[in-house]
Amino acid sequence: MAANQFLILGDSLFDFTTYIKVEYGDMNKVKIMTKSYFTELKTALDKVKISDIEKVAEVLLEAYKNDKTIFLLGNGGAAATASHIACDLGKGTLTNVYDHTEKRFRVISLTNNVSIMTAFANDLSLDDMFVQQLHSLVGSGDIVIGISGSGNSPNVIKAFMYAKQCGATTVGFLGYHSGGKAKAFVDYDITVKSSNYGIIEDIHMSLGHVLTTCLSYLKRYLYEQKSLTGSNKFTKRNLKRSIKGNIPSEWTERSARR
| DSSP per-residue codes, 194-252 | -S-HHHHHHHHHHHHHHHHHHHHHHHHHHHHHHHHHS-----HHHHHHHHTT---HHHH
Q: How many helices and strands (H and E) does the chain possess?
A: 10, 7
Sign of the CA dihedral running 129, 135, 137, 140? positive
The lowest-confidence range among 101-115, 226-240, 241-255 is 241-255
Tell me the percentage of the chain whose pLDDT exceeds 90. Answer: 72
Per-residue pLDDT tens over the stretch 130-175: 999 999 999 999 999 999 999 999 999 999 999 999 999 999 999 9
pLDDT score for 231 = 54
pLDDT score for 28 = 83
Q: Distance (Å, rounded) from C-alpha 168 to C-alpha 107?
A: 14
Task: Tell me the pLDDT band of 29, cut-offs 50, 70 and 90.
Answer: confident
pLDDT score for 11 = 47
Per-residue pLDDT tens over the stretch 161-219: 999 999 999 999 999 999 999 999 999 999 999 999 999 999 999 999 999 999 999 99
Which of 20, 111, 109 has its CA nearest to residue 70?
109
Query: Residue 223, CB half-sphere, CA atoms under 13 Å: how many?
Result: 15
Q: Average model confidence (pLDDT) for the chain?
A: 86
Answer with the residue of higher pLDDT: 232 or 90: 90
DSSP state of 181: G
Q: How much is the average pLDDT of 222-235?
A: 60
Please determine, for residue 14, whether its predicted confidence score (pLDDT) is greater than 80.
no
Please determine, for residue 6, whether its predicted confidence score (pLDDT) is greater than 50.
no
Which of 215, 207, 206, 209 has its CA nearest to residue 93?
215
Please determine, for residue 9, whether its predicted confidence score (pLDDT) is greater than 90.
no
Task: Check: pTM over 0.75? Answer yes or no.
Answer: yes
Query: Residue 212, CB half-sphere, CA atoms under 13 Å: how many?
Result: 24
Please determine, for residue 125, whether its predicted confidence score (pLDDT) is greater than 90.
yes
The pairing of strands 6-9 and 12-15 is antiparallel
Q: How much is the average pLDDT of 254-258?
A: 53
